[in-house]
Amino acid sequence: MGIAELVVARTAPQRVVLVSGASVLERAARLIAESRNVPVTVGAPRFVAARAYARFWRLLQIRDDKLRIRDVLEFPRSEPAPRSDLPRILFVTCRARHHFVVDPLAHAVRAAGALPHVLAAPVDDAELHARLDGLVRSGIPAEYLSNYLPPRDARAPSSGAIGRSFAGCGDASRAATSSRARAEDPVCHALATPLLRDTVERSLLVPLLVQEAASRALEHLRPSAVVITSNRRYAERALALAARAQGIPVLMFSGTLLMGRDPYEFLDVASRLLVIGDHLREEIIRQQGIRADRISVVGDPALECRPPDSARGPAQGSRPALRPRRRAPHRGVHLEVRVALLLG
């Protein structure tokens, strides 16, 4: 809508010609033009392929929403972990690669006398399952977040906290589609109404189920801190937001955190950011204006847990190692700093 409105405002056309009128962009252009009394013509009103494509795209979105809901409802569940009076650090993972960061920290936390606990997003990933199974075999509790939302409760979202969330979403949807909203911005109202309806009826169900599971998990586990490795997926965001609402510290630490072309807000759900090097800390402070005391440099756990070069033996066909410009810190020093931050 914003693109179409900007184009119409800059070009001030005397007539708008649409190819088929079936796409969202063409619908937006038609509504904007009609609101400005600009004539609109459809060049190919019988363009069946374009209309069929638009219909197919909508049906595909509906199918994807239903598949995501089914995956959450039918994901295998087991009994949640038992309660404990020990200080518990909760780690959240959504991909197998997150365990390159989490697993060394979990072992270090256990060695420090606290209880690590790993919660994973309920996704069908054999490598992630193998990672969790390895932690369990080593004596570290690891499970899926879905364990804290039984299938019976997940399939009956009309009751409890999920029902109240749905009711709130329904109230917001009705307010957005009211006659007052239609009068204030008829163009936006006409475009947003079907999207709001689809969101309330299908798209919001999965995040609401994850949110309810996160709240129940925190109530059951009562962690001293929550550690996330990203802030983009439902599980980590739901647990981080629920922890902040309960006054539980949230730390974000991604061992692969790099400044890309499209940087995002790192501390939108976390209270503290842990990075692998000074260069990242300085760049994030410069770009996002984050206070220096909210970012700590703690090194890379994946490198610290690698065996010494002598134990690995010479690499076949590899180039000679470059001489470091400065002496590397003692192995394990950064790990101790990370554990202190987690337990403090």
pLDDT on residue 256:
56
C-alpha 171 chain-centroid distance: 25
CATH number, position 95: 3.40.50.2000
Domain range enclosing 2: 1-47
Single-letter amino acid, residue 221: L
- Say yes or no: 28 and 130 in one domain: no
pLDDT on residue 341:
56
Residue 160 lies in a domain: no
Task: Check whether 327 has a pLDDT greater than 50.
Answer: no
pLDDT on residue 312:
47
- Say yes or no: 23 and 142 in one domain: no
Mean pLDDT of the chain: 77
Tens digits of residue pLDDT in 132-172: 999 999 999 999 999 998 877 776 654 444 555 545 555 55
Looking at 94-103, 197-206, 220-229, which range is the least confident one?
197-206
For the chain, how many structural domains are there in total?
Answer: 2
Tokens found for residue 326: 């400065």
The three-class DSSP label of residue 113 is coil
Task: Check whether 302 has a pLDDT greater than 60.
Answer: no
- Say yes or no: 335 and 278 in one domain: yes
Residue 137 lies in a domain: yes
Looking at 34-38, 108-112, 227-231, 339-343, which range is the least confident one?
339-343
- Say yes or no: 142 and 17 in one domain: no
- Say yes or no: 131 and 6 in one domain: no
pLDDT band at 342 (very low <50, low <70, confident <90, very high): low
- Say yes or no: 15 and 146 in one domain: no
The four Cα atoms 128, 130, 136, 139 give a dihedral, to 10 degrees, of -110
- Say yes or no: 14 and 110 in one domain: no
Tens digits of residue pLDDT in 64-85: 888 888 888 889 888 888 888 8
Task: Check whether 311 has a pLDDT greater than 50.
Answer: no
- Say yes or no: 335 and 275 in one domain: yes
Task: Check whether 10 has a pLDDT greater than 60.
Answer: yes
In this prediction the pTM is 0.69
- Say yes or no: 145 and 2 in one domain: no
Higher pLDDT, 312 or 103: 103
Residue 17 lies in a domain: yes
Residue 31 lies in a domain: yes
Cα within 13 Å of Cα(118), Cβ side: 33
Q: Which helix (H) or strand (E) holds 297?
A: strand 295-297
pLDDT band at 276 (very low <50, low <70, confident <90, very high): confident
pLDDT on residue 282:
82
Task: Check whether 90 has a pLDDT greater than 60.
Answer: yes
> In the predicted model, what is the mean pLDDT of residues 250-279?
72
What percent of the chain shows pLDDT beyond 90?
21
Residue 170 lies in a domain: no
- Say yes or no: 299 and 225 in one domain: yes
> How far is the CA of 283 from the CAs of 250, 297, 342, in angstroms?
22, 12, 24
Strands 16-18 and 88-93, bridge-based pairing: unpaired
Asked if 31 and 187 count as a contact pair (C-beta separation under 8 A), the reply is yes
Residue 16 lies in a domain: yes
Whether the CA torsion 99, 104, 107, 110 is positive or negative: it is negative
Nearest Cα to Cα of residue 141 among 164, 107, 173: 107
- Say yes or no: 43 and 143 in one domain: no
Residue 81 lies in a domain: no
Task: Check whether 216 has a pLDDT greater than 80.
Answer: yes
Query: What long-range pairs does 138-142 form, CB within 8 A, spacing at least 24?
Result: 138/107, 139/110, 140/106, 140/107, 140/110, 140/116, 141/81, 141/115, 141/116, 141/117, 142/117, 142/118
- Say yes or no: 2 and 147 in one domain: no
Looking at 81-95, 162-176, 210-224, which range is the least confident one?
162-176
pLDDT on residue 159:
47
Residue 128 lies in a domain: yes
